[in-house]
Structure 1
Amino acid sequence: MLLETMVPAWTAFGSEFLGTMILILLGVGVVANNLLPKSKGQANAPGSLQINWGWGFGVMFGVYCAYKTGGQLNPAVTIGLWAAGKDLAPGLPANATNIIVCILGQFAGAFVGAVVAWLAYKQHYDEDCDPALKLGTFATGPAIRNYFWNTMTEVIGTYVLLIWVLLSGYTQNSFIGPLGVALLIVAIGASLGGPTGYAINPARDLAPRFAHAVLPIKGKGSSDWAYSWVPIVGPMVGALLASLTYRVFWI
């Protein structure tokens, strides 16, 4: 039997960096296309379902790019795999070093992806519009602000994602794995995305929110740091609950 080739730390970082960068570039981009003034997407007003599909395809292509590390792209997925007693990917055991390297790659990739999306839409960000719309292209926010229930929504959405990841035989280097998770992201957005915009990923929200804070965006307003903990805590709790479910019923 052939031994698994161990994934070097730099390769693991680069894999998660590139995959998450692609995810955020396409995800921030599809929201910008729908919300920002004078964008052709905004002019056609295709609505939220296109945003759901944009994020779904962003995840799919990000997973393809990050095949070396199983296309985690999400600290909640990384921690959830560890909590469930699984390897992060073939040749990538869930030890402290690999977890830290992968999560650092995810946050760095998410920040760079947000910056590149801003560059693509720079002239549109310079147009006058509601600052909340500009922030909404980078980070999530609640439709009705109630921190407990907003967190609950993120817990539920992430639980659905993680329980599928743990039970699907998640094979990102084949065709069906990335396509399956893309369809799931679309479904979560269409069904559970209304209350909070469904971050379900701490890196997806925190790193672009930081990019919004530091980039020279005209009339951008607040980065809403008071809400920023919700898309961190909710996904992590949802991931741990899914891992507990997996351990109780499937191990």
Structure 2
Amino acid sequence: MSSSDIFIGETIGTAILILLGGGVVAAVVLKASKARNAGWVAITFGWGFAVLTAVYISAPLSGAHLNPAVTLGIAITSGDWGDVGVYWAGQLLGAMIGAALVWLAYYGQFHAHLTDREIVGAAADAQAKAVEAREKGAGPVLGVFSTGPEIRNAAMNLATEIIGTFVLVLAVVTQGLNNEGNGLGAVGGLMVALVVVGIGLSLGGPTGYAINPARDLGPRIVHALLPLPNKGGSDWGYAWIPVVGPLIGAAAAAGLYNVAFA
């Protein structure tokens, strides 16, 4: 596959991934959404279906990595590093596009949520609360775009992301690769989607299971740029964990694969 096919495939696929994955979070948490309060199970299955849809759309072009950690794991196991930068660039751009599409799809709900007095406080306090949020951490809708911990402890949060991504990448490199070994095949796509659901149900509680640096960083950048009223901060102090943790987890999974399976 050519570099242009890889870039286009990863951009489209990751945009679909974030549109549907971020979309289910928006559906569950935003005011005036018919799916509000549907719960964690809806979110985890929504993300699983998002992975499945994105994989089948993008696999013919790029092999459907859709995740810099998956790309890193495949590069380590295969020894082919030639297109890693192209994959990562497409994934980050696609994640940003997908996050912007979630904002467009739920534009009215974002506005209703962020102007609700019970959510952002009285009008007289809104500006002060927004400043405080920018300085101290996450705004009230950041969870639609990116992840955050329930208990803020860098070592624990990093370990959770490492472990979750380790499971994901080990599943990809042992079961999910196509015949060329450079991406997800048809059956592999279904298997990985189910693994993502399993990770969300079993390991997603502490941090929201980013397990994908582009999935977290791209939408976080979009959150910082969007003209959302009373949006608060983008929690940049935490942002390194869902980037570094998945990359470490991917490298560990690929290392184990090379020792035990290759």
- Same topology, TM > 0.5: yes
Whether the 8 Å CA contact 1:36–1:133 is kept in 2: the answer is no
Asked if 1:112 corresponds to 2:97, the answer is yes
- 1:49 aligns with 41
1:85-234 pair list within 5 angstroms = 85=78, 94-96=80-82, 98-127=83-112, 128=115, 129=119, 132-171=139-178, 172-174=184-186, 176-234=187-245
Aligned mates of 1:163, 1:31 — CA distance in 2: 26
**1:205-230 C-alpha deviation (Å, 9 max, x unpaired):** 00000000000111110000000000
SS of the residue aligned with 2:35? helix
- 2:73 aligns with 80
Per the TM alignment, residue 164 of structure 1 is displaced from its structure 2 partner at its CA by 0.5
Aligned mates of 1:226, 1:132 — CA distance in 2: 13
Aligned mates of 2:4, 2:66 — CA distance in 1: 16
Q: Output the amino acid matched with 1:198.
A: Y
Asked if 1:22 corresponds to 2:33, the answer is no
- 1:241 aligns with 252
Aligned mates of 1:192, 1:36 — CA distance in 2: 24
Per the TM alignment, residue 69 of structure 1 is displaced from its structure 2 partner at its CA by 1.6
**1:86-118 C-alpha deviation (Å, 9 max, x unpaired):** 6xxxxxxx333x111111000000000000010
- 1:70 aligns with 63
Which shows bigger deviation, 179-188 or 196-205?
179-188
Q: How many percent identity over aligned positions?
A: 47
- 2:128 aligns with none
Aligned mates of 1:33, 1:133 — CA distance in 2: 15
SS of the residue aligned with 2:141? helix
Per the TM alignment, residue 46 of structure 1 is displaced from its structure 2 partner at its CA by 1.6
- Give the structure-2-normalised TM-score: 0.87
SS of the residue aligned with 1:66? helix
Q: 1:79 to 1:138 in 2, by over 3 A?
A: same
- Give the structure-1-normalised TM-score: 0.90
Per the TM alignment, residue 19 of structure 1 is displaced from its structure 2 partner at its CA by 0.4
